[in-house]
Each structure stands twice: as structure tokens, then as C-alpha cells.
Structure 1
Amino acid sequence: MSNTIPNTMTAALLTGHGGLDKLEYRHDVATPSPKANEVLIKVSAAGINNTDINTRIAWYSKSVNTATDSVATAGFDDANADDSSWTGEAIKFPRIQGADVCGVIVAVGDQVSNERIGERVLIRSIMQTYTEFRPYECWTFGSEIDGGFAQYTVAPAAESYPVKSEWSDAELASIPCAYSTAENILHRAGIKAGETVLVLVTGASGGVGSAAVQLVKRRGAWVIAVTSQSKAEEVKQLGADEIVFRGESITDKIGADQLDVVIDLVAGKDWPMFIDALKRGGRYATAGAIAGPMVELDIRTLYLKDLTFFGCTFQDEIVFQNLIKYIEANEIKPLVAKSYPLSDIAAAQTDFLQKTHTGKLVLIPPTSDA
């Protein structure tokens, strides 16, 4: 390790499944070293995502069938730890979470050019390097590998993307996970630029939802956003053409058999309405279920209306490459609701779960290496 890089660092460790007490803020964590084809990044900012909460409380376990916020500060006592990660496998603890990272490369491993030192980068949160780029196999940064809730982190050089932007570190850190998830949904559902379609976005004030509103509008589609009354104006400013207030009947508001595409991040008890609102040949795409993963589907509706369903986790490389282009061309805008020092991670997650904000919450690690 170079003399300018400390042997130990400050980091927030997840020590097991459970409540906020499983988060430990420590100053004696070994600073990682980059292996061949990896880079060491000094973290400038790291965004908070639903997956951080889901992993901590073991919500991904098939033994859990309720909404994410039902025990989000305490965890599920009866969750099965053996299938509690998003991959369906056990998480290795302690783990440094944090899928969203903006930082600067400060060291490189073998087979990486020293010229990359000093680059400001965003890390691709859905990674293929460690699965040898096999289709539909991937790791999530901060889940299968330590992430960005620390002063330093290691990532594959090929998945650490240089970015040239005047945005702040916090603004850039709001992008990787949420915006790549949203862009991937649009990519997988085949929403093309200039396509005249009617698109419903649920959870439109959250990180992924607010990103989806912008990205759908960027393609020129008509956006109907589902959000709370208190956040409606903010969501409209992001590009939503119409608003359906949370709790309102979608089919009463816009009619049945009207939508071309549903981008759903919520699921839960209202899910059948999303399907009823789709027109024949419609497309439903999902990457979340914060209101609950268990839904009721009449299979006859699926096949008689010729619907297509997309589950969206794995991302083609072009998804993140496109995001970098959008950022550098200022075709999208970041939406940071609030930043916190990394030491306040428990308070930040508590605020995240209150869902009173629009956009992203971001953690800032200490700048001192002491």
C-alpha cells in the first residue's frame, strides 16, 4: 500500500441481518488493495438504495412475504439467512454495502494503466466481471463484493467508468443504481426514442421512480406518475405529464386497457389494477416490490390480453454506457434530497424509510485518512 494511502480506513459495516444495530461505524477497517484488473477508489459520495435495506432485514428471503417497511428498522426475526440476498444465496458478513459510488481512482492493480490514477469515476453497480460476463449472471456492488459505504473501495477497472461532469460528487453518486435500474427497465421493455406510448410509473418520487420519469420523458413518451399529493409538483417538474395520487384507482382515473407500458416498483395490493390498465399487447416491467411481493394474477388476463412481463435485474453493458453519455450531455438531472455524513448512516436509513423525500439520499465519508 502506498504511503499516501492508509492501512486502515473508516467504514460502515453490516454485521448481520436485522435492525439498525447491525450497522457498525468503525475507524479500524483494513483498506482494500486492488488485485489484477481492479482499481482502488477513494470514495467521494455513496447513495442509499432500497437494496441496502432489503439486504439488512433479509427481505429477499423467500420466507418473507410482506412489504419492506413493515419491519425495516428491526429486521425479520424468522427470515432464512441462507437465501437472504437478491441472488438467493447467503450474504457473507461483515459486508460494506453501498452500490452507488462516485470517487477518484488512487491506485491500480496489475494489468491496469497507471494513467487511470486521478480519474473521477462512477462504478457500475450491476457487475459482470466476476461472473465472466455470462448472460443473466451478475453481482451487485455492495452485496457480493464490498461497496461504497467507506473511505475506500475496490472495483473492476472495466466497470469503473470515467465521467466528465460539473455535477457535485453527491449528485453523481445519486445516479448508478437508481438510474441504471430505470434505464434497464426501459431497455428491456423496448421503449425506444420517439415511440408514442403511454407509460405508467409507480413509486415515481423514489430514486428509481424519479429516474424512470426522466428517462421515459427523454424518449418522448407520455408519462403518468403515481405519487403522493405532497410530491406531485416535484414529480411534474421531472417530466410527468399526468399524476395519479397514491391510493386512487388507476382504472377509474385513466380507464382500463389504456396503457402501453407499466413500470412498476411497488407491487402490493394495488397490483391487479396495473394489469387491468394495460391495453392488449401491453408490457409490464418491474424491478421492485416495496409495497409487498405477493400479488394476485388471473392468468387468463395475461394470455387473453397478450401481455408481456419483464423482470429486470441483469443489465446489458450498454445500459451504463448510455447513462454516462446522458450525464455528460446533461440530458438528465440528478435529484439529491439530502446528504449525510457516513457516520449518520442509521439516521439516513431511517429517513429513507419514511419516504418523505423526493429523489436520493447520499452519504459522504470523512475526507481525513486519520
Structure 2
Amino acid sequence: MNVPETMRAVQIAQYGGPEVLEVTEVAVPVPHAGEVLVQVSAVALNNTDLWTREGAYGRPEEPEALSGWRGPIDFPRIQGADVAGRVVMVGDGVDKSLVARRVVVDPADYDAEGPDANPVGLMGSERDGGYAEYVIASAERVHDVTESPLTDDQLAALPTAYGTALGMIERARLQEGETVLVSGASGGVGLALVQIAHARGARVLAITSESKIDAVREAGAHEVVDRARDVAAQIHMAAPDGIDVALDVVAGDLLRDGLPLLREGGRWVIAGALGGYSVAFDVRRLYLRNAQVIGSAMHTPRHFDLLMHLARRGEIQPVITATFPLDQAAQAQDELARRAHVGKIVLRP
């Protein structure tokens, strides 16, 4: 395939608001040994894009420090973790039959080999991502989804949101028939949690704003809690015997107020801090009920393989709420930050 020498990309050269997103022309990267070059068909937005741009992740020793996902960002950086596209060039040692195949890129960098490795870096934060016409990826991290019935937009919606959701559900050991609470249920991860937990046969209680209740119920929630009212009281009314699992991207007061609602042996899995990262709670609610609080950052390679299996079979249907051209990345991130939507926002380079 003919590949140009330059491409359009959206870079950030410093931490800041949407104004730091700059559409520019850069050289098309060349794949090295073990790598492929992917022509980007669609790249989905995530909260990670906002927090990386803002430097909002902090550091273990300095929570207020400006930082990317795993440390200071090496500027300039092309954002975008979630890429669907087609392979147009391969480096040495890569099977040439991958060229022209439709793929989804696993955006994680892992700490080890093997199916249960932990993610320690993210495309679009620790290395350049998909807010561009082309992106480099390890051949081991591209998954052939040529036969999937999903659109490119839907495929791009999967890696971070659905990968994070599946990682949470797997780490929670969610079982059929259990009662599960999902916070932030109208967002990308939240809606994915609702869909996957419902498909696994769980009874799903979801928390969202009043205007989004119908959309969240349509995604598979059995009961929906209005976050503007007394959330703990509503959960207790909907599940008087308690909940088995909480899948939480909010934390903050919800964690403090919700822990007493866990049943014996319950699991509270956290993958976000939209409601605040500093939390105080009664630790007796943990040890007296043999409960667990579990941190969950994205997915493992095994989780991502399972996600791609679901994608090839069309067993999950991501909701796309809006699409933008690449040069409107700032407007797209503004739309994401307003949180008035249900589902995923996608850029089309």
C-alpha cells in the first residue's frame, strides 16, 4: 500500500485545557521490527484523554502533581488510546498477511509477558496515540477483527471503555445471579459495565442522572438510581438484602456510603475517581463482612483477548453518540467533558 511521508495529527505540547490541542503535520512513523503501521479509521475519546491533557493523574508521592497516566508526559504527545483501522505496513519479522487486515489496537503497555500481565503504560500518554491518520503498534497488540459485524466506530469504542469494564468484571469474579451496582452508568465504561454484566446474567442496579435513566435501562439495567437523590437509600430500597459487587468509576462519597450495603464476601471494584480520590470509610465494614476493595486499571492481555472474541461475534454493541473530524478534537473533548451524552464520542481521521 502507498503510504505518504507526512500526516495530520493532534498533539499537546503542555498540560492545559482544550486550547492546548493543536492540529499539525508530522512525519508518518515507520514500523520497526515487530511493529505495524495502522491507518486510523476511527479513534474513540475517553476520560483518560481529558485527564492526560490536564495532567490530572498525580503521582504516588505527590497527588496534586501534574502527570500523565504513569508519570510526566514526554511532550509533544499525540493523544488517543482507542484505535480501529487497517494495517498498511509491517516491520521486520511481522507476518505480511496482516497488511490490509481490519484491526483493533490494544493500547496498553504491560509489565511482563503472559496473559495476566498488568498495564503500566497507555497509548496516547506514555507513547503516541491515534489522534492521527496513522499510528504505530506492536504486532502482538493488534487484533484482527476483519470479520466483525461492528462498525469501525464501534470497534474503536472498545479498548479502554470495554477493556476497563471487562477487567473490572473479571477481577470482581462476577457470577450469574449476583446483584451488581454500576456507578457512572451513562459514560463509556459505565454503559459497557451495564451491558456486559447484564449479558453475564447479573441483576444490574445502575446509578445515573434522571435525564439518562431510560437510555441506561435500555442498555440492560434492571433498576436505575437517580444520582441527584439519596443514592444509598435508593440502593437499599432496590436491593434490601444488599449487593454482591459494586463496579465503581466514581469513588468519593459513594464508596464511603456504599460499603455498608455490601453483602458477606462482597467485592467493591474501583476504576475511577470522578467523585473524588480522597476517601475515608469505616474499615470495620470490610473485615467484619469479609469484603474486598479492589483496584482495577484497565485490562490484562487475557481480558483483551476475551473482549476481541466478543467483538468478532458481535456480542456487544457499543453506543456511538457523536462523531467529529480530526481537526475538531478540541470540540469533541469539550463535548465529552460536559457529560451530557450517553455512549461514546469518536474522531474520524
**Length-normalised TM-score, structure 2:** 0.94
Are 2:163 and 1:180 aligned? yes
1:131 CA drift (Å): 5.3
CA distance in 1 between partners of 2:262 and 2:107 (Å): 31
Question: What value does the CA root-mean-square deviation take over the aligned residues?
Answer: 1.8
Structure 1 residue 317, shift from structure 2 partner: 1.6
| 1:245 partnered with 2:245 | no
- More off after superposition, 200-209 vs 325-334: 325-334
> Quick one: distance in 2 between partners of 1:136 and 1:317?
8
1:325 offset after TM fit, Å?
1.4
CA-CA distance at 1:165 after TM superposition: 1.6
| Equivalent-residue separation in structure 1 for 2:341 and 2:158 (angstroms) | 16
d(CA) in 2 for partners of 1:318 and 1:136?
A: 10
Aligned twin of 1:338: 322
When residues 16 and 132 of structure 1 are mapped into structure 2, their CA distance, relative to the original with a 3 A threshold, is: farther
Q: How does 1:319-334 map to 2 (within 5 A)?
A: 319-334=303-318
Structure 2: any 5+ residue segments left out of the alignment? Answer: none
Quote the residue 1:348 is aligned against.
332
Are the counterparts in 2 of residues 251 and 276 from structure 1 also a CA contact under 8 Å?
no
Pair 209,339 (structure 1): closer, same or farther in 2 beyond 3 Å? same
For residues 308-319 of structure 1, the aligned pairs below 5 Å read 308-313=292-297, 315-319=299-303
Deviation for aligned residue 1:100? 0.5
Report if aligned partners of 2:149, 2:314 keep a CA contact under 8 Å in 1. Answer: no
Question: How far did 1:271 drift?
Answer: 2.6
Structure 1 Cα separation of the partners of residues 298 and 159 of structure 2: 14
Is 2:187 the counterpart of 1:202?
no
Q: Is the 8 A contact 1:131 1:138 kept in 2?
A: no
Residue 65 of structure 2 corresponds to residue 80 of structure 1: yes
Q: Percent identical across equivalent pairs?
A: 40
Runs of 5+ in structure 1 lacking a partner? 66-78, 366-370
Correspondence 1:257-276 to 2 at 5 A: 258-276=242-260
Query: Which contiguous aligned blocks of 4+ residues in structure 1 show a shift greater than 6 angstroms?
Result: none
Report the count of equivalent residues: 343
Deviates more, 1:324-333 or 1:148-157: 324-333
2:207 to 221, 226, 238: 226
Q: 1:146 aligns with which of 99, 116, 128?
A: 128
Shift of 1:251: 2.9
Q: TM-score, normalising length from structure 1?
A: 0.89
2:148 alignment counterpart? 165
2:283 to 299, 304, 309: 299
Q: Given the alignment, which residue of 198, 215, 226 partners 2:196?
A: 215
CA deviation after TM superposition for structure 1 residue 124, in Å: 0.8
Are the aligned partners of 2:150 and 2:317 in contact in 1 as well (CA < 8 Å)? no
Deviates more, 1:150-159 or 1:261-270: 261-270
2:287 is paired with a residue whose SS is helix
Match of 1:14 among 12, 15, 22: 12
Q: Give the deviation of 1:249 after TM superposition.
A: 2.3
Measured in 2, the distance between the counterparts of 1:137 and 1:232 equals 33
Question: Residues 209 and 64 of structure 1: is their aligned pair in 2 closer, same or farther, counting only changes over 3 Å?
Answer: farther
Once the two structures are superposed, residues 317-366 of structure 1 have per-residue CA deviations (whole angstroms, 9 ceiling, x without a partner) of: 2211111111222211110000000111111111101111001000011x
Q: Is the 8 A contact 1:250 1:277 kept in 2?
A: no
- Alpha-carbon distance between aligned partners in 2 of 1:9 and 1:135, rounded to the nearest angstrom: 33
More displaced, 234-243 or 169-178? 169-178
